[in-house]
Amino acid sequence: MEKILELISGEVVKAFEENGYHKKYGKVTLSNRPDLCEYQCNGAMAAAKEYKCAPFMISDKIAEALKENPMFEAVDSVKPGFLNLKLNPEFLAGYLQKMDADPERIGCEKCDQPKTIMIDYGGPNVAKPLHVGHLRSAIIGESVKRIGKFMGHTMIGDVHLGDWGLQMGLIITELQQRQPELPYFDESFAGEYPEKPPFTIGELEEIYPTASAKSKENEAYKEAAMQATYELQHGRAGYRALLNHILDVSVNDLKRNYQNLNVSFELWKGESDAQPFIPDMVEKMKVDGYAHLSEGALVVDVKEDTDTKEIPPCMILKSDGASLYNTTDLATIVWRMKDYNPDEIIYVVDKRQELYFTQVFRCARKTGLVNPKTGLKFLGFGTMNGKDGKPFKTREGGVMRLEYLVSSIDEEMYRKIADNHTVEEAEGRKTAKIVALSAIKYGDLSNQASKDYIFDVERFTSFEGNTGPYILYTIVRIKSILKKYQAEKTLPEGAQILAARSESEKALMLELSKFNGMMETAFEETAPHKVCAYIYDLANAFNHFYHQTKIMAEQDEMQQAGYIRLLELTKRALEICIDVLGFEAPERM
Ligand code: ARG
């Protein structure tokens, strides 16, 4: 369905052309003075220079030309030369009827040319519990993915596990000290390794920090861990078997955690999956003359003449031949291109890694790992801070585990819900979980991703203001009116959205009509915060309308049915939006 702004612009452009002016001057925008009008066109101001006359002479002519146009209720030419537009309520109702006739997509068409887009998000490190630092990547990535899917693209989410670094060597070393008799450490062992892992997730999560602490105090221990990492990376069978155990146990636990967040991945690949692609990739970089030695290390220069700050070379191999985070990311691009040939890869990673990704992207382009047309986009996010403005910590000052954070918000939400009204414990807990997730996700997504933000539990869990619970509350309110109506009657034949009879109703309808344009922009700009801003405005417009309008007491049957259809459409818009944001609404709350 054509966007409402395009329809309006179309008419205004026509009026400019018919009066002998260039069509570029007919561009319409949303009004920045909603008290005066709904849409505006400032083209006469610019046109005046070209046609050498006073701007209002042009705007007067256009206003005159549009006077009888059924799209508008009012077209005012205002000195010095602005055009203020108000839509005809009939036209607006007609537009909404078309949206309403398409309940799946409410007028937002899928894109004409679907792309394959891979999205690298989550990025947890195995054997380390998820902490709040991983929350943003998961929440933002999931939403960007869902927005893309809604627009009709093939979106492939890859969790890109951190499973190749020193942490693996540390775990192996600690395990060897504790259980040296295990066959994994016996190099002459030729049998089948046990199927059952020699640890639980609880043990694993204790083993890693213990090992990490020991390695900081004990040089020999650290040496051993580095040696184990080296041997693992060079294919020592027992260590590979251990890595697989670590992966199994960790991934199970991660999946459970992500499921709690309503986050899921198409691919569970990790850094280790990129390793087989490294030797050929490095060889080719050397043969093609891109990689050269610098102080023993193999590097690719990526600086460009137009750089305003220094972009250091991208290091491919360390002087001892070991691969790095870079190497892995580049080799990951190799298999992604080979297996999926994506049009674009989006990385949702902490913005402190921006320079790093600039190097990786440039290196990938320069050495031909991607096609010239393949997009590589870095979506860097800011830090989630506590109320003190410093990175979010536990009360004791430690890194906060994600699980702990989520359950504390669940608890807070349950307390609020139980305070509000009496609920059965089990149902209350279930509702609290759903609402808590909206609080966490909306709290995050309503900020532009690149900005730091303050995780304010009190504010995020409030039922009022720009919060997830407020949005859900609005949806639940609509659901309950619809239920009440359905309990009393059935929608009469021919029921449809009617022309607005009040300001508040029209304001709601104007918000609804922006849906498809908003969703397209949110996709193009990878900007979930635009979806949040939209539903906040929409929820406000709805609640205002609700307080001003007697829906259930309306005597005119068709009028009441029109309201019900309008409510249905509002509910659909809100539901589609929260779905792309990655949360859902309960039946009651
Ligand atoms: N595991 C990394 C970390 O915890 C994030 C991975 C980001 N993705 C990537 N392709 N490098 O910092």
| Protein residue with least CA distance to atom 5, ligand 1 | 123
Which atom of ligand 1 lies closest to the CA of 349? 7
Q: Are residues 176 and 78 in the same domain?
A: no
- Angstrom CA distances, 368 to 301, 344, 458, stand at 14, 15, 50
* Distance (Å) from CA 252 to ligand 1 centroid: 19
Give the C-alpha separation, 253 to 200, whole Å.
10
Ligand 1 pocket: which of 119, 121, 125, 379 to mutate (most atoms within 8 A of CB): 125
Give the C-alpha separation, 176 to 187, whole Å.
13
Q: Which of 260, 280, 311 is the last residue of a domain?
A: 260
Q: Decide if 407 is inside a domain.
A: no
Helix (H) or strand (E) holding 294: strand 291-294
Q: Decide if 38 is inside a domain.
A: yes
Tell me which residue has tokens 């030695």. 293
Which atom of ligand 1 lies closest to the CA of 357? 11
* Distance (Å) from CA 162 to ligand 1 centroid: 7
- Phi/psi at 294 (nearest 5 deg)? -140, 115
- Angstrom CA distances, 230 to 7, 170, 180, 188, 223, stand at 63, 11, 19, 19, 10
| Protein residue with least CA distance to atom 8, ligand 1 | 123
| Protein residue with least CA distance to atom 11, ligand 1 | 329
- Phi/psi at 118 (nearest 5 deg)? -95, 140
Name the β-bridge partners of 525.
none
On whether the CB atoms of residues 95 and 108 are closer than 8 A, the answer is no
CA nearest 281: which of 370, 376, 341?
370
Distance of CA 62 to the CA centre of its chain: 42
Give the C-alpha separation, 220 to 416, whole Å.
53
What pLDDT sits at residue 61?
Answer: 96
Amino acid identity, residue 336? R
Question: Given the DSSP bridges, would you call strands 291-294 and 297-300 parallel, antiparallel or unpaired?
Answer: antiparallel
Helix (H, G, I), strand (E, B) or coil at 161: strand
Residue 276: asked if its preceding bond is cis (omega within 30°), the reply is no
Instruction: Tell the burial category of 388 from Cβ atoms under 10 Å away from its Cβ (0-12, 13-18, 19+).
Output: exposed
- Which structure tokens are listed for 549? 């309008």
- Which structure tokens are listed for 457? 């539990």
What pLDDT sits at residue 242?
Answer: 95
Q: Are residues 81 and 171 in the same domain?
A: no
Alpha carbons within 13 A on the beta-carbon side of 358: 15
Q: What is the CATH number of the domain that holds 521?
A: 1.10.730.10
Helix (H) or strand (E) holding 5: helix 4-18
| Protein residue with least CA distance to atom 7, ligand 1 | 123
Helix (H) or strand (E) holding 431: helix 425-445
Alpha carbons within 13 A on the beta-carbon side of 341: 0
What pLDDT sits at residue 323?
Answer: 86
Q: Decide if 25 is inside a domain.
A: yes
Give the C-alpha separation, 234 to 239, whole Å.
10
- Angstrom CA distances, 355 to 135, 302, 339, 367, 373, stand at 22, 11, 27, 18, 22
What pLDDT sits at residue 205?
Answer: 87
In this structure, is the dihedral angle defined by the CA atoms of residues 493, 481, 586 and 466, taken in order, positive or negative? Answer: positive
User: Which residues in the chain come in under a pLDDT of 70?
Assistant: none
Give the C-alpha separation, 231 to 516, whole Å.
54
Tell me which residue has tokens 């801003």. 533
Ligand 1 pocket: which of 118, 135, 250, 349 to mutate (most atoms within 8 A of CB): 349
- With a CB cutoff of 8 Å and minimum separation 6, the contacts of 509 are 89, 92, 93, 96, 497, 500, 566
Q: Decide if 196 is inside a domain.
A: yes
Residue 312: asked if its preceding bond is cis (omega within 30°), the reply is no
Ligand 1 pocket: which of 353, 356, 369, 378 to mutate (most atoms within 8 A of CB): 353
For residue 39, give its domain range: 4-87
Q: Decide if 237 is inside a domain.
A: yes
Q: In terms of DSSP H, where are the helices of 132-290? A: 133-150, 166-178, 201-217, 219-233, 237-260, 278-287
Q: Decide if 359 is inside a domain.
A: no
* Distance (Å) from CA 349 to ligand 1 centroid: 7
Give the C-alpha separation, 357 to 364, whole Å.
10
Name the β-bridge partners of 323.
317
The CB density around residue 433, as the number of other CB atoms within 10 Å, is: 17
Q: Decide if 101 is inside a domain.
A: no
Which atom of ligand 1 lies closest to the CA of 329? 10
Rg (CA), the chain: 29
* Residues contacting ligand 1 via CB (< 6 Å): 120, 123, 125, 160, 162, 329, 347, 349
The CB density around residue 426, as the number of other CB atoms within 10 Å, is: 8
On whether the CB atoms of residues 406 and 436 are closer than 8 A, the answer is yes
What pLDDT sits at residue 390?
Answer: 84
| Protein residue with least CA distance to atom 3, ligand 1 | 123
The DSSP code sequence of 8-75 is HHHHHHHHHHHTT--GGGG--EE-S-TTT-SEEE-HHHHHHHHHTS-HHHHHHHHHHHHTT-TTEEEE
Give the C-alpha separation, 306 to 202, whole Å.
51
Q: Which of 202, 225, 260 is the last residue of a domain?
A: 260
Q: Which of 227, 260, 293 is the last residue of a domain?
A: 260
Q: Are residues 83 and 170 in the same domain?
A: no
On whether the CB atoms of residues 25 and 43 are closer than 8 A, the answer is yes
Helix (H, G, I), strand (E, B) or coil at 125: strand
Give the C-alpha separation, 589 to 584, whole Å.
12
Give the C-alpha separation, 577 to 455, whole Å.
22
- Phi/psi at 481 (nearest 5 deg)? -65, -45
What pLDDT sits at residue 128?
Answer: 81
Which atom of ligand 1 lies closest to the CA of 325? 11
Instruction: Tell the burial category of 219 from Cβ atoms under 10 Å away from its Cβ (0-12, 13-18, 19+).
Output: exposed
Tell me which residue has tokens 């050495």. 367
* Distance (Å) from CA 124 to ligand 1 centroid: 7
The DSSP code sequence of 501-530 is -SHHHHHHHHHHHTHHHHHHHHHHTT-HHH
* Distance (Å) from CA 287 to ligand 1 centroid: 29
* Stated pTM of the model: 0.95
* Distance (Å) from CA 353 to ligand 1 centroid: 9
- Phi/psi at 384 (nearest 5 deg)? -90, 115
* Distance (Å) from CA 76 to ligand 1 centroid: 55
Q: Decide if 155 is inside a domain.
A: no
Give the C-alpha separation, 310 to 308, whole Å.
7
Q: For the chain, what is the domain count?
A: 3
On whether the CB atoms of residues 360 and 330 are closer than 8 A, the answer is yes
Q: What is the CATH number of the domain that holds 71?
A: 3.30.1360.70
